[in-house]
Chain A
Amino acid sequence: MSSWAPGALTPKPAAAPARSMLAAQARAELKLVLRNGEQVLLSLVIPLGLLVVLVAVPFISVDGADGRGDRADFFVPGVLALAVMSTAFTGQAIGVGFERQYGVLKRLGATPLPRSVLLGAKTLAVLAVEVLQVTLICLAGLALGWDPQGSVVSVVLLVVLGTAAFSGLGLLLGGTLRALTALAAANLIWLVLLVLGGVMFPLSEFGGAEPVLSLLPTAALSTGLRDVLEAGAGLPVQPLLALAGWAVVSLTAASRLFRWE
């Protein structure tokens, strides 16, 4: 092979426009999520499977929900909350943990890609996956007899605030713990919040603990979504406030404590 042409490597340094960096990085992040079998399992297969089983097999009784349509009305909002948690929290915590371990974040830190654009790209990828999740879960729900109420705006607001809260928690976990510790912790927390977060059981099942549990991010999101989609509420104030609180605290902590290596 011939050698390098003279002048081929002459310095010409300049960062690409932020918009094209954002687009390229978001595409890469999305590609990585969709290529990762465990992530797809966590984000799509488990929530969809759970929805079908919970609605079709009445082994969890829901007060006042006798027919399949009533069961779908109860479980679709919960599974939507689970899906947001899976992608924004668990997926990101594990992903970021391993990116730190593999030195990817360090390497990207030595490129013209600003950290703010990197985080923006991660957020875009999370939102893209969520759009896919919400679409599939809603379609499955409709097929199971789901009869949604309420305003789309409230649902979007809840999902966006929920995503912010869960992303903050995911970045906090993945950005401070070793990869395998982050993996274990993120999965454990996912499981605990699945049970205690109003996804599978109504929070009223937990008796006196309900007011405390309702402040958990998953519970706030599932309750809020249920208020809107099942009961047709306008703006579910308490869940929105709880999610906003989690978002502020977790994103502040993550920005202070996040380690890039």
Chain B
Amino acid sequence: MSAPALEIAGLVKRYAGRAVVDDLSLAVRPGTVLALLGPNGAGKSTTVEICEGFRSPDAGTVRVLGLAPKDPTLRPRVGVMPQTGGAYPGLRCGEMLRLVASFSAHPLDPDELLERLGLVDVARTAFRRLSGGQQQRLSLALAVVGRPELVFLDEPTAGLDPQARHAAWELVEALRADGVTVVLTTHLMDEAERLADDIVIVDAGRVVAAGTVGELTRSGAVGQLRFKATPGLDLDQLLSALHSGCAAKESPSGQYLVEGIIDPQLLATVTAWTAGQGAMATDLRVETRTLEDVFLDLTGRELRS
């Protein structure tokens, strides 16, 4: 396997003695999309800003494309979309994009970027007169215009309307398809589920879970299988056929619930069991946990300050 595009090991960052990032480690495979998911104040942006070379860690190591984050040779190779601002208020949208494009030897066509991100109509509007969503889209365009190998997007779709969000998602998907590595932070479960190959859930500066969407929603997760059948079937017989750790009950009458790791084997066992008793399972419904369930289970359901 090729070397990671980004490798973080034991990263610690303290502000006023409080660890904002607390022994965080992760690796991003080249050409994949990694989503850093976490509640406000979890340390996502701080982590990303250290990778971008804007901040220095208090402990731990970060390698970006194999180099130290502040290495100047990284600048053309890494695209950055900061969470806020980052443009001359007095420059027009198109001027700002063309300016940053002119810093690269082989930039993307600024006009195509403007068109695909829905900014053609405001290309001649000063940055300070753009709406929040338009500023956000320009910022995204600025991050990718230099054709980087690795892109950091800090909450790329915050404040975007659904159309703009889809345009941004299409851009990320196209980046991935063309072999660009993308690291993005987000609060949005659907965004992470749609875009990310790997998800790292961060809370209080630590990694609390990591894996693909499938792994996170399955791992340790108890799925539920509901179905209807003739009332009064023999549950003991079913339980003995299922692997241990599964539970089954009938409630209310004629409505069955099996809890456990829901896999094809379990499904086959259940249908064989009903068939064996001359019954048929109908309205079969598998309920797995969503990423949001996993996220809330791991990071708690109380509101953060």
Task: Tell me the A residues contacting B by CB distance below 8 Å.
Answer: 1, 3-4, 6-17, 20-21, 24-25, 28, 31-32, 35-36, 98-99, 102-104, 106-107, 109-114, 261
Q: Taking CB as reference atom, which chain A residue is nearest B83?
A: A103
Known contacts A12-B106, A13-B104, A102 near B175 by CB under 8 Å: no
8 Å CB contact of B54 from A15, A16, A106: A106
Range for the number of chain B residues in contact with chain A: 35 or more
Which of A6, A12, A15, A261 has a CB less than 8 Å from the CB of B103? A15
Of B177-185, B196-204, B210-218, B250-258, which stretch is located at the interface? B177-185
The answer to whether the Cβ of B159 comes within 8 Å of any Cβ in the partner chain is no
Q: Give the top 7 A-B pairs by smallest Cβ distance, nearest first.
A: A107-B86, A103-B85, A4-B174, A110-B80, A14-B105, A24-B102, A9-B178
> In the complex, what's the smallest C-beta–C-beta distance from B177 to chain A, in angstroms?
7
Cβ of B282 within 8 Å of any chain A Cβ, yes or no, is no
Question: Smallest distance from the beta carbon of A215 to chain B beta carbons, Å?
Answer: 36
Residue pair A12, B88 in contact (C-beta under 8 Å)? no
Which A residues lie within 8 Å of B276 (CB)? none
Chain A residues whose C-beta falls within 8 Å of the C-beta of B116 in the assembled complex: 1, 4
Q: Is the CB of A9 within 8 A of B108?
A: yes
Assess whether A32 is in contact with B102, with CB atoms less than 8 Å apart: no
**Contacting chain A: which of B7-15, B38-46, B144-152, B238-246?**
B144-152
19 pairs, CB–CB < 8 Å, chain A vs chain B: A1-B115, A3-B174, A6-B177, A9-B177, A13-B104, A14-B76, A15-B103, A17-B105, A28-B88, A28-B91, A99-B88, A104-B85, A104-B87, A110-B78, A110-B79, A110-B80, A111-B146, A112-B104, A261-B54
CA distance A22 to B171 in the complex (A): 30
Counted as pairs of residues, one from A and one from B, with CB atoms less than 8 Å apart, the total is 127
Let me know if B87 and A32 touch, CB within 8 A: no
Q: A13-B76, A104-B87, A261-B54 are in contact. Are A110 and B105 (CB under 8 A)?
A: no
Q: Which residues of A contact B100 (CB under 8 A)?
A: 111
State the majority secondary structure of interface residues on B: loop
How far is the CB of A259 from the nearest CB of chain B, in Å? 12
Chain A neighbourhood of B149, CB < 8 A: 11, 13
Q: Which of A15, A20, A35 has the most CB of B within 10 A?
A: A15
Tell me whether A16 and B105 are in contact (CB under 8 A): yes
Taking CB atoms, residues of chain A closer than 8 Å to B146 are 13, 111-112
Interface check B300, CB cutoff 8 A: no
Q: In the complex, what distance in Å separates the CA atom of A112 from the CA atom of B180?
A: 18
Q: Are B91 and A11 in contact (CB under 8 A)?
A: no
| Listed residue (B79, B84, B105, B175) with the most chain A CB atoms within 10 angstroms of its CB | B105
A130 to B170, CA, bound (A): 47
- Taking A4-B116, A32-B91 as contacts, is the C-beta distance between A13 and B147 under 8 angstroms? yes
**Given known contacts A25-B99, A104-B86, is B52 in contact with A16 (CB within 8 Å)?**
no
A15 touches B104 (CB 8 A): yes
Q: How far is the CB of A26 from chain B (nearest CB, A)?
A: 11
Pick from A21, A36, A109: contact of B102, CB under 8 Å: A21
Q: How far is the CA of A11 from the CA of B89 in the complex (A)?
A: 29
* Residues of B contacting A14 in the complex (Cβ-Cβ under 8 angstroms): 76, 104-106
Distance between Cα atoms of A31 and B127 in the complex (Å): 14
**Complex interface: chain A residues within 8 A of B174 (CB):** 3-4, 8-9
Q: Distance in Å from the Cβ of A72 to the closest Cβ of chain B?
A: 35
The residue among B86, B112, B170, B175 with the most chain A CB atoms within 10 A of its own CB is B86
Tell me, rounded to whole Å, the shortest Cβ–Cβ distance linking B52 to chain A: 6
